[in-house]
Amino acid sequence: MKKRRFMIGCLLMIGLFLAFSATGFAATAKYNWKLASVLPDTHPVHKALTYFADEVGKATKGEVKITVYPAGQLGQEKDYIEGVKVGAIEITKVSSAPLGQFAPSLQVVSLPFIWRNGAHQHAVLDGAIGTRLMKDLEKNGFKGLAFLDAGFRNVTSQVGPVKVPADLKGQKIRVMQSKPLIDTINAFGATAVPMGQSEVYVGLQQKVIDGWENNEPTVLTFNMQEVCKYFSYTRHTSIPDILVMSKQVFDSAPKNVQTAIMDAAAQAIPYQRKIWASYIDDAVKQLKAKGMVFNEVNDIREFQALAKPIYKQFEPVVGADLIDAIVKQK
């Protein structure tokens, strides 16, 4: 508890310093806010964050200045989530997976194979179910602004191609701090190792882990092909990123600022989806040129069968009705 309080206190001090220095003592902005992300500025999602920040600035005629701090400058995602909850960080882009620890129903988006494809995910998150998940976030101190594409997650390994679940036996695979994700990788026969993003490259380099799981753009952005050669299309889950704001900060802002934030977030969604879709093929080409080896699994149904019991396990957590509604969504 003392460590957490110390961390939050440090975030507050760092935040005040960065906001003060980044604005250059600007007197025009009434609100100087931070937007934290672990992704570097070369990642396609980062462009959507700067787009969002710029749109808020335009809509408020400079009344709000949002400065994006990429590449984990303000810590790891768990730090951002805790910081946003207490108002030490105003806005962050995090994966929905670790945020599910604070809003249990949100864990449903991390369940294995729940998404048929990207269009299915968009239909769910753009509709009533997405609204329900955002409302559940509000009950826990967060103002959800937008779900963002983060692609389908796949296993990458140093050991060799993963074509059948048995290929993962004995391997230590890094995952985010997310129980559905941990349970999924364990169900495949590997050992899930929760670890912060900044630790993954070194972990692979030093053989602390044998692999990790993520999407193609993130593998490229963090140069993981240098330490993890084999990319296997398990497509076991697609966990959306989420743009989220401190509810207490949002609620304290005037109505015109709240409207500008929500409008900018809505505009950022199609903008980010377009960037993401166009970047996938290019990322794969670059990774192949850098020596990464790609393969399809032999039969995805073998992986799905192993993961199926996880749904029953999470029914008491997220609600069987919510799982059923997502599966049946057209």
Backbone angles phi, psi at 172, to 5 degrees: -100, 115
CATH number of the 153-238+282-328 domain: 3.40.190.170
Strand-strand pairing, 142-148 and 241-246: antiparallel
**Cα–Cα distance measured from residue 192 to residue 211, given in angstroms and rounded to the nearest whole number:** 10
For 2-149+240-280, which CATH superfamily applies?
Bacterial extracellular solute-binding protein, family 7 (3.40.190.170)
What is the rounded end-to-end Cα distance, in angstroms, of the chain? 45
Give me 240's structure tokens: 């959306």
Please name the residue that has the structure tokens 């050992």. 191
Give me 165's structure tokens: 């679940």
> Are the folds of 2-149+240-280 and 153-238+282-328 the same?
yes
Please report the pLDDT score of residue 41 as a whole number: 94
Q: In what order do the strands lie in the sheet with 64-69?
A: 64-69, 31-36, 91-95, 241-246, 142-148
**Domain range annotation of the chain:** 2-149+240-280, 153-238+282-328
* Tens-digit pLDDT string for the chain (330 aa): 555 555 555 555 555 555 544 444 344 899 999 999 999 999 989 999 999 999 999 999 999 999 999 999 999 999 999 999 999 999 999 999 999 989 999 999 999 999 999 999 999 999 999 999 999 999 999 999 999 999 999 999 999 999 999 999 999 999 999 999 999 999 999 999 999 999 999 999 999 999 999 999 999 999 999 999 999 999 999 999 999 999 999 999 999 999 999 999 999 999 999 999 999 999 999 999 999 999 999 999 999 999 999 999 999 999 999 999 999 999
